[in-house]
Amino acid sequence: MEQDANRKFQKELNAGAVALVLLSVLDQSKEPLYGYQIAKRLEKHGDKLSVVKQGSLYPVLRSLEKGGLLESNVEPSVTGPPRRYYRITQNGRDILSQWVAIWQQNTNFVEAILEGTVDVSER
Amino acid sequence: MYPNVEAYLSELRERLAGSDPATIQDAVADAEDHLRSALEQAQADNPGAAPEALLSSIVANFGTPEETAKAYRDIEVRLTPPFAPVKTTDARPFHVRFFGVLGEPRAYAALLYLLTSMVTGILYFTWAVTGVSLSVGLMVLIFGLPFFGLFVFSIQGLALVEGRLVEALLGVRMPRRQVPFRSTTGIWKRFVARLKDRRTWTTLAYLVLQLPFGIIHFTVFITLLAYALQLLALPVLQFVFDQPLFSLSFGKYFVPIWSMPFLVLAGFLDIIVLLHLAKFVGRKHGAMAKALLVQRA
């Protein structure tokens, strides 16, 4: 029961964060990346993101592409099916900077509440 | 758990059953790409390890087919606007589409709307014509203008009611509340705003048009329905009640027995064609209602 609640909370938190993370990874990368590479890069940063299953990154990538924040091209690969390489668009960069600002604002606000620097007690 | 990548993919396909085919194709392609890349990497890192063992740790990171399917479905729901026209082509075979209409509530609802549209048409037409002519006639008197004002406001109410009917029976999304006017503006300003609003006049046109359309709808569908019922009931009428197909002054006409199955079949086909026609006309009428009764942004 408790675990369910935690999972649900984690999922809701991740919902927006995953898109932000993916945009940011592609923004920092010099060359286009395919899904597995992105997942690998995120894996390096330890278990922090292991709550996000790698399989759920792909639909987010596709939805970002549909929204015009990413673009992709398919290239044949030697080993398996053709790979879809993603890169960020200019529109995606603009949106990313706005999202970063929103994220910062949000975390500042939540941290301020959690640390108790904002007076939320009854007046 | 999964002996190979294909086993995972086929389970993923099963979990996604019912989703948009394009989504399934995307999801399977993404998963295959990832799992093969990861497996290749893992085999290079641990030569000699069993692929099943490697695959199970890869899947632990990637997510079970169930989790992956859910991620795609969740995003698919967010991407499709709720009232977007359903563009999926009906992939059912022709005979299923043709006869399947018998089980479609939409077809019966459309038929109900089209049959009652003559009644509402008479009401709307009377209201509109009386309102306009009284307004014009009374315009020379002191209360002509207030009367016209009330009439114009009443039209919006009628439009809302008709919209509810259209949405309920024809399935076209229609407004659920009145266009709000700020109560701070005076009655005169609100009145002028309504007069300038294109929708007021298209609504009036709709209310008038509903009568001729209603008469046509009613006549066509009641005729088709009557024919169908007579043809279907023909064996009972002729053999049990000894009723002819029709009787004229010079005699009664009974159909030959060999033609009976064909005529009953024709009655059955008539019902199906009638329902298809009702669906089609209902869709067109709904589109017209939407064009004339809903305010343009």
Q: What is the 3-state secondary structure (H, E, C) of chain A?
A: CHHHHHHHHHHHHHHHHHHHHHHHHHHHCCCCEEHHHHHHHHHHCHHHHCCCCHHHHHHHHHHHHHCCCEEEEEECCCCCCCEEEEEECHHHHHHHHHHHHHHHHHHHHHHHHHHCCCCCCCC
Q: What is the dihedral angle through the alpha carbons of B156, B158, B164, B166, rounded to the nearest 10 degrees?
A: -110
Q: What is the mean pLDDT of residues B19-43?
A: 81
Is the minimum CB–CB distance between B22 and chain A shorter than 8 Å? no
Q: What is the mean pLDDT of residues B65-84?
A: 71
Residue B83 has what pLDDT? 42
Question: Which CATH number is A2-115 given?
Answer: 1.10.10.10
Backbone angles phi, psi at A84, to 5 degrees: -100, 115
Q: What is the mean pLDDT of residues B43-53?
A: 83
Q: What is the mean pLDDT of residues B72-88?
A: 59
pLDDT tens digits for range B111-156: 999 999 999 999 999 999 999 999 989 888 888 888 888 898 899 8
The C-alpha atoms of residue B117 and residue B40 are separated, in whole angstroms, by: 67
Contacts of B32 in chain A (CB under 8 A): 80-81
Residue B95's pLDDT band, with cuts at 50, 70 and 90, is confident
Instruction: Tell me which chain A residue has its CA closest to the CA of residue B60.
Output: A53
The C-alpha atoms of residue A108 and residue B5 are separated, in whole angstroms, by: 44
- Please report, for chain A, the start and end positions of each structural domain, with discontinuous segments joined by +: 2-115
Residue B177 has what pLDDT? 66
What percent of chain B has a predicted confidence (pLDDT) above 70?
90
Residue B82 has what pLDDT? 42
pLDDT tens digits for range B237-260: 888 887 887 778 887 788 888 888
Residue B81 pLDDT > 50, yes or no?
A: no
When the pLDDT of each residue in chain B is averaged and rounded to a whole number, the result is 84
Residue B157 has what pLDDT? 86
- Please report, for chain B, the start and end positions of each structural domain, with discontinuous segments joined by +: 5-88, 102-293
User: Are the C-beta atoms of residues B293 and B162 closer than 8 Å to each other?
Assistant: yes
Q: What is the mean pLDDT of residues B250-274?
A: 88
Residue B123 has what pLDDT? 95
Contacts of A66 in chain B (CB under 8 A): 79
3-state secondary structure of B171: coil
The reply to whether residue A84 touches residue B78, judged by beta carbons under 8 angstroms, is no
Contacts of A39 in chain B (CB under 8 A): 34, 38, 61-62
Is the minimum CB–CB distance between A73 and chain B shorter than 8 Å? no
Length of chain A: 123
The C-alpha atoms of residue A65 and residue A58 are separated, in whole angstroms, by: 11
Backbone angles phi, psi at B36, to 5 degrees: -65, -45
Contacts of B68 in chain A (CB under 8 A): 53, 55-56, 58
Residue B214 pLDDT > 90, yes or no?
A: yes
Q: What is the mean pLDDT of residues B212-224?
A: 96
Is the minimum CB–CB distance between A104 and chain B shorter than 8 Å? no
Contacts of A82 in chain B (CB under 8 A): 33
Checking DSSP bridges between strand A70-75 and strand A83-88, what pairing results, if any?
antiparallel
**Which of B31, B41, B75 comes nearest A60 by C-beta?**
B75
Residue A47 has what pLDDT? 58
Backbone angles phi, psi at A72, to 5 degrees: -145, 155
String of DSSP letters for B187-200: HHHHHHHHHH-HHH
Question: CB within 8 A of B182, min separation 6: which ones?
Answer: none
Tokens 């266009």, located at residue: B179
Best residue in A56, A66, A74, A86 for a mutation probing chain B (most B CBs within 10 Å): A56
The C-alpha atoms of residue B284 and residue B167 are separated, in whole angstroms, by: 13
Residue B5 pLDDT > 80, yes or no?
A: yes
Q: Is the dihedral of CA B28, B30, B36, B42 positive or negative?
A: negative
Supply the ipTM of this predicted assembly.
0.72
Query: Which residues of chain A fall below pLDDT 50?
Result: none
Q: How far is B13 from chain A (nearest CA, A)?
A: 14
Residue B212 has what pLDDT? 96
Q: How far is B16 from chain A (nearest CA, A)?
A: 13
Is the minimum CB–CB distance between B234 and chain A shorter than 8 Å? no
Residue B31's pLDDT band, with cuts at 50, 70 and 90, is confident
Best residue in A58, A62, A69, A73 for a mutation probing chain B (most B CBs within 10 Å): A58
